[in-house]
């Protein structure tokens, strides 16, 4: 049966090694059942002669086939086709990402992966360095250094620099949150805030409710506590309250983690009614609400962007605020508003985490707030983001009818649902070839569910790029809407990555 | 029996409320058994008349007595003396600190509590701001801002700024640690390093071995993981290896946390033989060593200050280094050297903790290392600390013979064992009145054992202060060496803090 193999074409000029080309060729013959289960593969020398390659090439290809469970070997008698699982399962695997890729996507979300300059980056939810108020901040840094000298580098109170806590209490008045310096805990960014709160509220075996989908960093933090994570779907007007109440009864969770305004990744907001109801439910069930105020500041088309904290009469909300998204992520600065009954435990957990947040950065940011530069900057950022937001909305209106999305009223994220027949992950890999990148939805689910959605973010793209990028996105999508999946799979076999 | 009460003296001018004075008076009568178990206390109005106070004063005193378990009440029949426990146990309680004070002491250790200017501070192990190289650091900060612009404020790679990791690899060569950028993980200070490593190594129910006594921040971090903490005593030449091997068999720990050079709080160092044996034991038992290199740089009188990492041929050591002690604690910067098999988990745990360490600070410190200013600074700090160290040693030689201590060979901490008849905690409270402060030993034990030792630190005191402070210390100690404990207790009853 050696002639079955004579169709194999190997190229010495291809970017892939010959043995990998051979691996793919035999793999495909097995998948298409040209080679049957338990069929013997040709002896090494014979196949090498036929294909005019070195013996070693065949040896290595056979080894790789064995490692990837396409063949098995019997000492002294040769190499045989390993009976294969259902082909559909294979396609399913192909559509799922390896853990490594999940990790890459998470990093991309945080702007931590350098994307080549010719790519249009809808993946990063982090503003580009060009938007940072460098000169202003350099000035306050130097002013602080001259004013405070060595004290700018000493240990800071774990709770945070007192004047900064004062400034934040002032700042919060603008957002209708009435609180005191005693309630403010300075943190090294929102991620640390989540981690510190988790340390206080969640012990091994406890349950927390999260919106589904939600922020990947929160999921990771809750997982390190050995916490059971229960997902409640987020709908276009906010969290599914019926399911929430049901799960509260069933799982007796300690807390719920929520982003009530312009949620990440969906951009959805809880309606005012839902917000009030959520506070009631929390009160009734002794549930702590962890409110991650991701971006409530960017309310382009709504005045309903109240935070839960501003309505929290019963002190059940722990409020987390970072300045990363509209200021400078590399500063690692944010704050919590904490009900007084948790105050001491929160300080202790912060102390355990990193003792205190950089004294210099706290002092500089305090001055930045006090001088009113912050207000100027946020006004500027809102203008920049609104322009991008409007361009994005315009382009989304050109999407094919089959595509569904909810028009958010603010924020920087857009959540697109693709029809079931399209695999988002395949679409993702193809989009990259076309020089655009976004984040496939599946990474935002604690259970890594296969999701048919994706997130587009406008934090790192200029209006011109949004136009160009969304044209590419639209064209690719139109092509995809009538693609044959199985055919596509074989035409794109290089997507399969063997274990090397 | 109302005349028993006629000796009670209450003063309207005292700083304490009348009802608290009354509480102490009756408490003492109960303790001295002037009032017997189950004896009835006078009716409120009667006692109020006798002492010429308001009824409310008596009501409040009785309430406080009840709350502090000195009396019990029977509805309709009055207030009665609650049978008291053994008086010695009472003294023991008096000698123990409340949790709140423990917390204060921990903060003091980290230089986080402002101590009034007229106090001599042997408690803080944190250098004073006057020693920080402000001007040099301001220069590198500005150089980085001009060079990197917005990138100095963008998210940084979770693993750390690559050039800084390069600089650290270079820096470590000087300490005979050969490693690569791939092994280096940047952290926001040693405390975060411990916390990140704990996240990776320790899950709920796992066991870790620590030296006893040890660093309080490490204990706190391990506790948040739900970890069982097993204490192995540290002797003058390092950890007790026999007990260590015994406990490894018994508890099958995942890791050991150790400071092999100039340990905190004892100042003790492992001998070279013990270090080598520890590495062998770790290898044999599949035990990870978490080496906190607290201060190995300050080797004034030894060349044996090898780190375990420098001898770690089997890659069992996770090395933690902070720059807080000899540089600037408020920077929140340090690094780990991680065996490659833990590398990815460590990055993930760091990401979960605060995504990344401040980009600006990393870039500035990198420049600081590259320009060689660090070497200059560490030379300067060694000189400053050595002078203090020598003065302290000189003063310790004047201690009464009954007092035992081990002369360390470097570092900033001195561990003093008091004779059993002296209560360190009482001594501590008295020392504060004499305007010197140190840290009582008990806080350094995971189990809060009553300890008869204390830690003196030279990080925050000038040579002149060391001389003056140690004279006070010596005099107080001499007085204490023949004090009557029981008598002292009653003369100093204001130290007892009732639960209010």
CB contact under 8 A, B128 and A145: no
pLDDT tens, residue by residue, A335-364:
999 999 999 999 999 999 999 999 999 999
Residue A150 touches partner B, C-beta closer than 8 Å: yes
Sign of CA dihedral A437, A441, A446, A450: negative
Spatial separation of the C-alpha atoms in residues B198 and A34, rounded to whole Å = 52
Radius of gyration of chain A (CA): 27
How far is the alpha carbon of B242 from chain A, nearest alpha carbon, in Å?
31
Could you tell me which chain B residue has the CA closest to the CA of A332?
B358
- Close Cβ partners of A113 (under 8 Å, ≥ 6 residues apart): A104, A107
CB contact under 8 A, A221 and B352: yes
CB contact under 8 A, A329 and B191: no
3-state secondary structure of B369: helix
Residue A356 touches partner B, C-beta closer than 8 Å: yes
- pLDDT score for A292: 97
**CB of B49 within 8 A of CB of B2?**
no
Q: Which two tokens stand for residue B70?
A: 């000195």
Q: Which two tokens stand for residue B23?
A: 């509480």
Which of B155, B162, B219 should be substituted to probe chain A, the one whose Cβ sees the most A Cβ atoms within 10 Å? B155
Tell me the chain A residues in contact with residue B109 when contact means C-beta distances shorter than 8 Å.
none
- Kindly indicate the confidence band of residue A88, based on its pLDDT and cuts at 50, 70 and 90: very low
Residue A98 touches partner B, C-beta closer than 8 Å: no
- pLDDT score for B86: 46
Residue B292 is classified by DSSP as E
**Through-space distance between the first and last CA atoms of chain A, rounded to whole angstroms:** 28
Q: How many CA atoms lie within 13 A of A198 on its CB side?
A: 32
Could you say which residues from 152 to 171 on chain A have a Cβ atom under 8 Å away from some Cβ of chain B?
152-158
Radius of gyration of chain B (CA): 27
Spatial separation of the C-alpha atoms in residues B316 and A447, rounded to whole Å = 33
Spatial separation of the C-alpha atoms in residues A89 and A69, rounded to whole Å = 14
CA distances from B35 to B40, B41, B43, B71, B78 (A): 9, 9, 15, 11, 15
3-state secondary structure of A121: strand
Spatial separation of the C-alpha atoms in residues B187 and B196, rounded to whole Å = 9
User: Closest to B151 (Cβ–Cβ): which among A129, A149, A204?
Assistant: A129
Q: Among all chains, which residue has been given the structure tokens 């009631």?
A: A280
Q: What is the pLDDT along chain B (500 residues), one digit of tens a residue?
A: 678 898 888 888 877 788 988 998 998 888 888 888 888 999 999 999 999 999 989 999 999 898 887 888 887 788 988 877 544 433 343 344 445 555 666 666 655 556 677 899 999 888 888 888 889 999 999 999 999 998 888 877 899 999 999 999 999 999 999 999 999 999 999 999 999 999 999 999 999 999 999 998 999 999 999 999 999 999 999 999 999 999 999 999 999 999 999 999 999 999 999 999 999 999 999 999 999 998 888 999 998 899 999 999 999 999 999 887 777 888 899 999 999 999 999 999 999 999 999 999 999 999 999 999 998 999 999 999 999 999 999 999 999 888 888 999 999 999 999 987 788 888 888 898 899 999 999 889 887 666 789 999 999 999 999 999 999 999 999 988 866 555 555 555 444 555 55
Residue A112 touches partner B, C-beta closer than 8 Å: yes
- pLDDT score for B90: 39
Closest CA to A327 of A52, A83, A132, A69: A132
Spatial separation of the C-alpha atoms in residues A360 and A349, rounded to whole Å = 21
Spatial separation of the C-alpha atoms in residues A246 and A258, rounded to whole Å = 17
Closest CA to A324 of B362, B153, B145, B361: B153
- pLDDT score for A383: 94
The H-or-E segment that residue B120 falls in is strand B120-121
Q: What percent of chain A has pLDDT over 70?
A: 89
Q: Among all chains, which residue has been given the structure tokens 């892939």?
A: A16
Spatial separation of the C-alpha atoms in residues A228 and A222, rounded to whole Å = 8
- Kindly indicate the confidence band of residue A86, based on its pLDDT and cuts at 50, 70 and 90: very low
Sign of CA dihedral B291, B292, B297, B300: negative
Q: Which two tokens stand for residue B481?
A: 């060496």
**CB of B292 within 8 A of CB of B309?**
no
Q: Which two tokens stand for residue A383?
A: 């203008």
Query: Is the N-terminal amide bond of B213 cis, ω within 30° of 0?
Result: yes
CB contact under 8 A, B129 and A149: yes
Mean of pLDDT over chain A: 87
- pLDDT score for A104: 63
Taking 80 as the threshold, does the pLDDT of residue A242 lie above it?
A: yes
Angle between helix A190-201 and A216-224 (nearest 10)? 30
pLDDT tens, residue by residue, A476-487:
999 888 665 555
Domains of chain A: 2-84 (1.10.10.10), 96-130+376-484 (3.90.1150.10), 157-371 (3.40.640.10)
Tell me the chain B residues in contact with residue A355 when contact means C-beta distances shorter than 8 Å.
110, 112, 189, 191, 217, 329, 332
Taking 60 as the threshold, does the pLDDT of residue A96 lie above it?
A: no
Q: Which two tokens stand for residue B307?
A: 């780190």
- pLDDT score for A90: 39
Q: Tell me, rounded to whole angstroms, the distance of Cα B264 from its chain centroid.
A: 8
A-B CB pairs within 8 A amount to: 190
Cβ-in-10-Å burial (0-12, 13-18, 19+) of A481 comes to middle
């Amino acid at each position: 049966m050696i002639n079955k193999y004579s169709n194999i074409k190997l190229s010495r000029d291809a970017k892939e090694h010959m043995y990998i080309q051979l691996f793919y060729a035999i793999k495909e013959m097995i998948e298409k059942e040209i080679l049957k289960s338990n069929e013997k593969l040709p002896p090494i020398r014979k196949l090498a002669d036929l294909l005019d390659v070195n013996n070693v090439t065949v040896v290595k290809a056979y080894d790789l086939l064995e490692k990837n469970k396409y063949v098995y070997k019997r000492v002294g008698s040769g190499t045989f086709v390993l009976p294969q699982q259902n082909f559909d399962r294979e396609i399913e695997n192909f559509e799922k990402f390896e853990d490594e890729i999940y990790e890459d996507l998470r990093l991309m979300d945080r702007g931590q992966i350098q994307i080549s300059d010719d790519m249009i980056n809808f993946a990063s939810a982090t503003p580009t360095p060009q938007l940072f108020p460098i000169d202003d901040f350099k000035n306050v840094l130097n002013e602080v250094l001259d004013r405070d000298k060595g004290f700018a580098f000493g240990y800071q109170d774990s709770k945070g620099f007192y004047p900064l806590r004062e400034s934040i209490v002032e700042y919060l008045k603008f957002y209708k949150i009435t609180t005191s310096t005693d309630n403010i805990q300075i943190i090294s960014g929102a991620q640390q805030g989540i981690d510190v709160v988790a340390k206080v509220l969640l012990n091994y075996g406890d349950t927390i409710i999260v919106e589904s989908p939600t922020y990947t960093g929160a999921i990771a933090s809750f997982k390190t506590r050995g916490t059971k994570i229960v997902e409640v779907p987020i709908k276009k007007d906010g969290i599914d309250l019926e399911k929430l109440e049901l799960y509260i009864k069933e799982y007796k969770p300690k807390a719920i983690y929520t982003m009530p305004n312009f949620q990440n990744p969906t951009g959805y907001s809880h309606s005012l009614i839902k917000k009030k109801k959520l506070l009631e439910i929390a009160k009734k069930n002794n549930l702590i609400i962890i409110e991650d105020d991701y971006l409530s500041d960017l309310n382009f088309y709504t005045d309903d962007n109240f935070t839960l904290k501003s309505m929290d009469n019963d002190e059940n909300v722990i409020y987390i605020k970072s300045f990363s998204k509209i200021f400078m992520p590399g500063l690692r600065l944010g704050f919590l508003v904490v009900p007084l009954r948790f105050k001491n435990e929160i300080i202790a957990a912060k102390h355990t985490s990193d003792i205190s947040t950089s004294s210099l950065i706290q002092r500089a940011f305090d001055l930045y707030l006090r001088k009113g530069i912050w207000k100027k900057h946020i006004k500027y950022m809102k203008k920049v983001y609104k322009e991008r937001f409007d361009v994005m909305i315009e382009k989304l209106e050109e999407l094919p009818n089959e595509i569904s999305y909810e028009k958010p009223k603010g924020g920087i994220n857009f959540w697109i649902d693709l029809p079931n027949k399209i695999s988002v992950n395949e679409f993702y890999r193809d989009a990259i070839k076309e020089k655009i990148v976004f984040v496939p939805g599946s990474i935002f689910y604690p259970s890594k569910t296969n999701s048919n959605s994706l997130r587009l973010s406008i934090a790192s793209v200029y209006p011109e790029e949004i136009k160009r990028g969304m044209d590419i996105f639209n064209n690719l999508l139109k092509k995809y809407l009538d693609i044959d999946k199985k055919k596509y799979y074989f035409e794109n076999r290089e997507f399969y990555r063997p274990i090397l």
